[in-house]
Amino acid sequence: MLSVTLLLMSPNLLANDAEKGKEIAEKMDQSYSGYGTSSADGEMILYLGNREVKRSFRSLTLEDLGNTPSEYNVLVFETPGDMRGIALLTHARTEPDDDHQWLYLPAASRTKRISSSNVSGKFVSSEFSYEDLAKQELDEYTYKWLKTEPCPDSTLSCEVIESYPMNENSGYSKRLIWVDTEHNRAQKVIFHNRRGVHEKTLLLSDYILPDKGRWRPLNLDMTNELNGRKTVMVWSNYQFGEPLNKNDFRSQRLQALSR
């Protein structure tokens, strides 16, 4: 029994699991990346006990592979009226640099910088944090392969990996990710908070592969396992190759973008 335990703890095996985990994460990243620019429409549905709160938004994204920031995104709410014009701008950056995020509040005509210590906060009272809405850069995490098993609610096979954030301001201690072996797409993510508790579960479904684009899930279903609340983001009308440039993603332009 002792020899089995020592074998399982072999440094070579641990190194192999880390290497395999990163290789799977790289393939997953490649299945989403390389699109250039895109736009999309979306709906955010908050399930608050017996209530449903619906919000619509539009999103613009520019990819800048090999550079920092590596991705620029702005999400602007259109409905309901009291949410119209609220905008979140994200410049995704790789460690040791923090992501840069700004929230524009039209009622106050004010642009607020999201501090690195607040990235784990809830975005507009949803179960998605500011951190969740920024691109997860490969080099911001270390990885470990765990096992191969059937994908959740699917006939596909999945590799299960763990990822551990290097950013000390992250709201998570680790994420468990189910990645399908056919197209290298994330199917499920379990988030453990800083205390190591399973706090949230994300299910990704209804993937599409638009012309000249990359794989995109149309449904993101985030459940908070601690309070029972759920937020669903439903995406539609993906367009790739949009005429966007970096100047479109300056914080000074948020007021104009929110109109």
**Which residues pair with residue 103 across a beta bridge?**
88, 112
Domain 13-257: assigned CATH number: 2.50.20.10
* Other Cβ atoms closer than 10 A to 1: 5
Q: Evaluate if pTM is beyond 0.75.
A: yes
Residues in contact with 16: Cβ distance below 8 Å, sequence separation at least 6, in sequence order: none
**Where do the domains of the chain lie?**
13-257
Structure tokens at 144: 């470990």
* Amino acid found at 125: S
Rounded-to-integer distance, Cα 88 and Cα 101, Å = 7
Between CA 188 and CA 200 the distance in angstroms is: 11
Q: What is the pLDDT along the chain (259 residues), one digit of tens a residue?
A: 444 544 555 566 667 999 999 999 999 999 999 999 999 999 999 999 889 999 999 999 999 877 666 899 999 999 999 999 999 999 988 666 778 999 999 999 999 999 988 999 999 999 999 999 999 889 899 999 999 999 998 899 999 999 999 989 999 999 999 999 999 999 999 999 999 999 999 999 999 999 878 999 999 999 999 999 999 999 999 999 999 999 999 999 998 888 7
Most distant CA pair in the chain, distance: 67
- Write out the H or E segment, with its range, that includes residue 16: helix 11-32
Calpha distance 40→201 (Å, rounded): 24
Residue 67: count other Cβ atoms within 10 Å of its Cβ. 11
Q: Are 164 and 146 in contact (CB under 8 A)?
A: no
As given in the structure block, the two tokens for residue 175 are 């994420």
CB-count burial class (<10 Å; 0-12, 13-18, 19+) for 68: exposed
